[in-house]
Structure 1
Amino acid sequence: MIPWGYTVPAVAAVAVVVVFELVLLKTGLFRKPAYWLTMVIVTGFQIPVDGWLTKLSAPIVLYSPEHITGLRFPWDIPVEDFLFGFALVTAVLLVWERARQREEAS
């Protein structure tokens, strides 16, 4: 059974953001080391916070098992959280990068 509730939208969000960059915006963000460093920093903060919120021993945030894959790593974090995090942060950075490029061009 495909977990439609959270997994499919998480994967779709990543695909939409990547296609948006590669086909429409073409900012070159994915080629910049600063972007990847930013993602490492974001993930470094996401792991302890998300891990605390989703730990199976005393969860603050609960997920319906039928809506996620059940894959959790590390500290019981559903892998879908990382997909949404990537899509959200990347989308914001793409908008900022596009705005910066337009400002420089004018």
Structure 2
Amino acid sequence: MIPWGYTVPAVVSVIVVVLFELAVLKTGLFRKPAYWLTMAIVTGFQIPVDGWLTKLSAPIVLYAPEHITGWRFPWDIPVEDFLFGFAMVTAVLLLWERARSREEAR
């Protein structure tokens, strides 16, 4: 069974953001080492916070099992959280880059 509730939108969000950059915005963000450093820093903070929120021993955030793959790494974090996090942070940075380049063009 495909977990449509959370997994599919998480995967689709990554695809949409990447395609938006490659086909529409074309900011070159994915070629910048600063972007990848930023993503490493974001992930570094996401892991302890998300891990605390989703730990199976005393969860604060619960997921319906039928809506996720069940793959959790590390510290019980559903892998879908990393996909949504990537898409959200990347989308914001892409729009920021686009706005910056438009401002510089003026």
TM normalised by structure 1 equals 0.99
Instruction: Name the aligned partner's letter for residue 17 of structure 2.
Output: V
The aligned counterpart of 1:52 is 52
Q: Does residue 1:81 correspond to 2:74, yes or no?
A: no
Deviation at 1:40, TM superposition (A): 0.1
Q: Does residue 1:17 correspond to 2:21, yes or no?
A: no
Deviation at 1:71, TM superposition (A): 0.2
Residues in 2 aligned to 1:70 and 1:80: alpha-carbon distance in whole angstroms: 9
CA RMSD of aligned residues (A): 0.3
Deviation at 1:73, TM superposition (A): 0.1
Q: Does residue 1:5 correspond to 2:5, yes or no?
A: yes
Instruction: Name the aligned partner's letter for residue 41 of structure 1.
Output: I
**Structure 2 residue ranges without an equivalent (≥5):** none
SS of 2:60 mapped into structure 1: coil
Deviation at 1:34, TM superposition (A): 0.2
Q: How many pairs are equivalent?
A: 106
Instruction: Name the aligned partner's letter for residue 36 of structure 2.
Output: W
Deviation at 1:57, TM superposition (A): 0.3
TM normalised by structure 2 equals 0.99
**Structure 1 residue ranges without an equivalent (≥5):** none
